[in-house]
Structure formats: structure tokens, C-alpha cells
Amino acid sequence: MENNALLTEVMAKAQAWLDGNYNEETKNDIRRLMNADDKSELIESFYRDLEFGTGGLRGIMGAGTNRMNIYTVGAATQGLSNYLIAQFPKVAQISVVIGHDCRNNSRLFAEISANIFSANGIKVYLFEDLRPTPEASFAIRKLGCQSGIILTASHNPKEYNGYKAYWDDGAQMIAPHDENVIIEVNKVTVNDIKFKGNPLLIESIGEEIDKAFIENIKTLSLSPDSIKRNSDLKIVYTPIHGTGVMLIPRALREYGFTNIIPVPEQNVVSGNFPTVVSPNPEEPAALDMAVKKAIETDADIVMASDPDADRLGIAVKNDKDEWILVNGNQTALLFIYYLIRRWKELGKINGNEYIVKTIVTTEIIKQIADRNGVEMFDCYTGFKWIAAVIRENEGKKTYIGGGEESYGFLPEDFARDKDAVSSCALMAEIAAWAKDNGKTLFELLQDIYLEYGFGKEKGISVVRKGKSGAEEIVQMMRNFRTNPPKEIAGSKVSVIKDYETLKMTNVSSAAVSELDFPCTSNVLQYFTEDGTKISVRPSGTEPKIKFYIEVRGEMKSRQEYAQADAAANAKVDAVRASLGV
């Protein structure tokens, strides 16, 4: 049981909701929590207020300050409205886009937010139905809006919902705007929220934006002849009950592919995600039904998007004709390799181009960029940081693509969030191009390793729920920071990067240099003499601490892939043992 001081504080916050201007349904839920013998759920619901992390506002749905409900969403929207009015005093009509995914209450939260924005005199472009997150980002830019929000909890379990806030460039907010919005939100009381909307300021959008978005995606194609020769490529696609069903099959068809094979059970839009435990393409089980369909139909590739269609997971056949999942680092490798190679072959590389990856994503990407004369930028985890690099270089350098290990990629700059719609179209093109060149996608991946060196990555999440879990995560980071390992899996640590202090330490010389990043972040990295890279950070959106392990190996032919992979797996296990995770 939590200590008495915390329980007293929580009871006072809950009583304030009982005494306040909240509806009866909410008050009944709070009474149930307060009267329960076990106060754990009450404490979880009220011990803190939801805050913006790397993915915005996200939490379990229910009553309380630490839950997603019409009041926490309402306060966020009212606070954002106040901030927009203060930031854009010379704009005659401030406007926003609102999008949402398939989750339970997403449409309700979207409509409530539309009412609040409009009640504050802000023009609202509300999508008529669920739409992919990247399309909403695109719409903000296309319609010239000052901001936008998307109601989604991305790939989290069904109990969750979320609220992503975007700025006028179509990217998720970063400092100072995200911090300033929170300041405004914290000022809002329930009586300040203007729930009664102005219908004259709410406009429904849909098909016209869909069409414009797909027309832009079609401009990304680099190998149209390969698509024509392989238009009947067998593509199994599943939206895992989410928004991808609205646009991805259509985008694939308009890109030139004719043989898109659905997984009917998962084409059913549902916030309960009835066929999966977790609607996350990072989880192997989420692709089980799609892989079974691929086996039945002898498909060429399996693709899956998460509920808001910003992440892409793929499966391919290996050299034994077995279906295997491609991890996020490998997916990013395929994209970057293909984009840079085709840009080069088409004469589009002139020395002013760049790519972006996050600091926890595979270092092989940097080798590809360096060897081909393309600049690479590292940034923090979260696609808002990739978008920030694009914004900083706008009009000065040419963006090729950017991605992260967590299954997100953006091959365009007309949207500013990771995009499974364009990524599905482009990955299908890569498969067609590989087939045109006598290769499978698996063989293409092997050839990348042969050319740039073999690497293996493993992500490990240690979950620690609730207040006590959050405190434990803080202590774990403190221990790693104050007692850094001297060696990992038998290899000496050569470099330590601490993004909280923005210092890089060369261990052997004790030389300390500055890291050039826009702000600090609670991330630690260790690099060892044998090329291993370890990254450690608390999640910004979930109750977990994340470890990202990358090890390097040798591979001199395709036939040595299995041997290299097995050796790398053993090395990963040794790293885990060294770290105690």
C-alpha cells in the first residue's frame, strides 16, 4: 500500500472531482474507486497528471487526472486553444486539423475537441472518419493550419488512448511549444473548458485530402518500370483493425500494384482489436494471421500497419522458403539503401542531400550514407525530432528519408510524421525492384550486409508499472549513470554518451567533449571496442525502461548469414547478462 501522505493527496484530488463540474458518469466511477478496499486503482488514476512525452498525451482510459477522459482531453484542448490564440494574434482565422484512429472513444474525443476549439473561435477541419496519422500531418500543411491534434494511442493495448499535438509544419510539438502548452493546460480548470461548440466553425474533410495525399505519395516512386513488370506482386496486407484499411490498399493500387491480398478478419475496424493481444507490428503475434494468409497464397511480401497507420511491419521469405519477420532496423536499412542507391543511379545525388536516423537506430545506416556522399543527422527517439531536422534544413538541403528502429519511416517531407501509407507503397516498390534484379527481399538484405557489414539489433523493455515502478526506473538510470560498466560482454567500453549532460567521454583518454543536440534527454549510450552499441532510456509514453543493443559481426557470403546471425544472437545474450536485463 502506498504511504498515507500520497493516499491523502489522492483522496483530496478525487474529492475535488466529486465536488466539481463533472458529469454523473465520471463521479460514479470516482465513488467506486474511493469506496474500494484496495485503493491501488484510485492512486493510479490520480497520483499525477498526464504529460506530453515523446508521443504526446497517452494513458489508460477512465476517470481521473492520470487517465484519458473527456476532461483531460478537454483541458488539453482548452490549453492548446489558449496557446494558439496567444501565439497567432495576427492570424485572422486560426485553424486546426483533427484526426483520429479506430480506438474506443477516439471519435468522441475528436468531436469534443472540435467543439472546444470552435467555441474558442478556432476553425476546425475534422476528418469525417478515422484516417492515418500521417494524413492528418499532411492536411495541416496543405490547409495552412496553425496546429492539429490526432486522437490515437498508436500501437498500445486497447485500454489506452492518446492525444498528439502538432504545430503548423505538420510535426509533433517540441520545445518550447510542447512545454508552453502544458503550462497553459495546467492553468485550466474544469470550469474553464468551453465544451459548447460553434458548428459554423467545424468543417468535415475526407476524400479531397485522401486524393491529394495519395497523389503526393505517387511522386515518390523511383522505379516505375519495375512496378509495371511486377504489378502482380502478391502483397498480403493487414491494418490490424486500424486506420490503414482506409488508405493503404488504395495507395498500393494507385502506385501500380494489382494483387493486394487482405486478411478479412483484421480488415474489421475495431478498438477492441479482437484478433490480437497487442495491435503492434513489432510483436510477432500481430502478424500471425497475415503470415498464414501469405503461406496460403504463396505471397511475395507481408505488410502490416499499426492502428493509426504510422508504423510498418513486414515479413519475407528466407532462403529456406520460411516466413521471417524483418525488424525495424532492417526495415530502415532496406529503405535507406534503396533510396540512396536509386537516387544515385538516377543522378539525383549532388552532395546536398541528407538522411536522418535516431540515436538508437543501427549505425550501418551511417556507413551507407557516408560511403555514398549523403549527410546523416542523428536525433533523439521520437519522430518529432526527425521532423525538427527536416524543418531546420528546409530550403537548404534535400531530404531523402528518415527512420527509427521502432518500425517508423518517412520517405517524404510533405508529411512530418512517420508514414506507413507511403512506406507500404515504397516497400512494395523495393520488392518489385529486387525481383526485377533477380533477388528476393531477404537476399537484398543479405547483400546490404555483405556490402556494409553485418549487424544485429535487439530491443529489450523492462516494464515497471505505477508510481513505484516509475521510481524504480529513475533509480536504474541513476545507477547506470553513476556506475557505468567498464566492459560489456568481454569488450571494453570505449565511449560513453550522456544526453542528460550532453557530454561524450572517451574512456581511455578521459577526454570529454560536447554533444551537439538541441536539448538534453535522459538517454545513456555505451560503445565498446568491438563495435557494440548499448542505449538505455526510459520510455516517454509507457511504464518501461528500454535497452537497445546493437552488435556487429562478419559475413562474407549469403551462405554465411545463418552463422553470422547465430553468433550475433550469442553476443546479444552475453550483453544482456552483462547488463543484468
- Mean pLDDT for the stretch of residues 480-493: 95
- Mean pLDDT for the stretch of residues 140-154: 97
- Mean pLDDT for the stretch of residues 124-148: 98
Task: Tell me if 122 sits within 8 A of 95, measured CB to CB.
Answer: yes
- Mean pLDDT for the stretch of residues 98-125: 98
Beta strands (DSSP E) in 251-374 are 260-262, 301-305, 312-317, 323-326, 353-358
Task: Tell me if 286 sits within 8 A of 279, measured CB to CB.
Answer: yes
pLDDT > 80? residue 3: no
Q: Given this model, what pLDDT does residue 304 score?
A: 98
Could you tell me where in the chain the CATH 3.30.310 domains are found? 455-579
What is the C-alpha to C-alpha distance for residues 258 and 234, in angstroms, rounded to an integer? 8
| 523-536 per-position pLDDT tens digit | 999 999 999 999 99
Q: Given this model, what pLDDT does residue 276 score?
A: 97
What is the C-alpha to C-alpha distance for residues 340 and 547, in angstroms, rounded to an integer? 29
- Mean pLDDT for the stretch of residues 312-329: 97
Quote the DSSP letter at residue 311.
B
Work out the pLDDT band at 147, boundaries 50, 70, 90. Answer: very high
Cα angle value 390/370/434 (rounded, 5°) = 85
What is the C-alpha to C-alpha distance for residues 371 and 462, in angstroms, rounded to an integer? 36
| 200-217 per-position pLDDT tens digit | 999 999 999 999 999 999
Work out the pLDDT band at 199, boundaries 50, 70, 90. Answer: very high
Domain 67-205: assigned CATH number: 3.40.120.10
Domain 455-579: assigned CATH number: 3.30.310
- Mean pLDDT for the stretch of residues 300-312: 97
Quote the DSSP letter at residue 559.
G
- Mean pLDDT for the stretch of residues 395-400: 98
| 242-292 per-position pLDDT tens digit | 999 999 999 999 999 999 999 999 999 999 999 999 999 999 999 999 999
Q: Given this model, what pLDDT does residue 148 score?
A: 98
Q: Given this model, what pLDDT does residue 272 score?
A: 97
- Between 423 and 381, the more confident residue is 423
Work out the pLDDT band at 224, boundaries 50, 70, 90. Answer: very high
Q: Given this model, what pLDDT does residue 56 score?
A: 67
Q: Given this model, what pLDDT does residue 2 score?
A: 47
- Mean pLDDT for the stretch of residues 280-308: 97
What is the C-alpha to C-alpha distance for residues 338 and 432, in angstroms, rounded to an integer? 12
Per the prediction, the chain carries an average pLDDT of 95
Q: Given this model, what pLDDT does residue 541 score?
A: 63
Work out the pLDDT band at 196, boundaries 50, 70, 90. Answer: very high
DSSP codes, 355-405:
EEEETTS-THHHHHHHHTT-EEEEE-SSHHHHHHHHHHHTTTSEEEEEEET
pLDDT > 90? residue 55: no
Work out the pLDDT band at 382, boundaries 50, 70, 90. Answer: confident
Three-state secondary-structure class, residue 563: helix
- Mean pLDDT for the stretch of residues 98-127: 98
Type of residue at 334: L
pLDDT > 90? residue 363: yes
End-to-end CA distance of the chain: 27
Length of the chain: 581
Verify whether residue 154 is a known catalytic residue: yes
DSSP codes, 29-74:
HHHHHHHSS--HHHHHHHSS----BTTBEEEEBSSSTTSBSHHHHH
Q: How many CB atoms lie within 10 A of CB 32?
A: 12
The residue annotated as part of the active site, out of 95, 106, 154, 305, is 154
Q: Given this model, what pLDDT does residue 57 score?
A: 82
- Between 182 and 56, the more confident residue is 182
What is the C-alpha to C-alpha distance for residues 561 and 83, in angstroms, rounded to an integer? 54
Superfamily of domain 213-452: Alpha-D-Glucose-1,6-Bisphosphate, subunit A, domain 3 (3.40.120.10)
- Between 408 and 581, the more confident residue is 408
Work out the pLDDT band at 464, boundaries 50, 70, 90. Answer: confident
Could you tell me where in the chain the CATH 3.40.120.10 domains are found? 67-205, 213-452
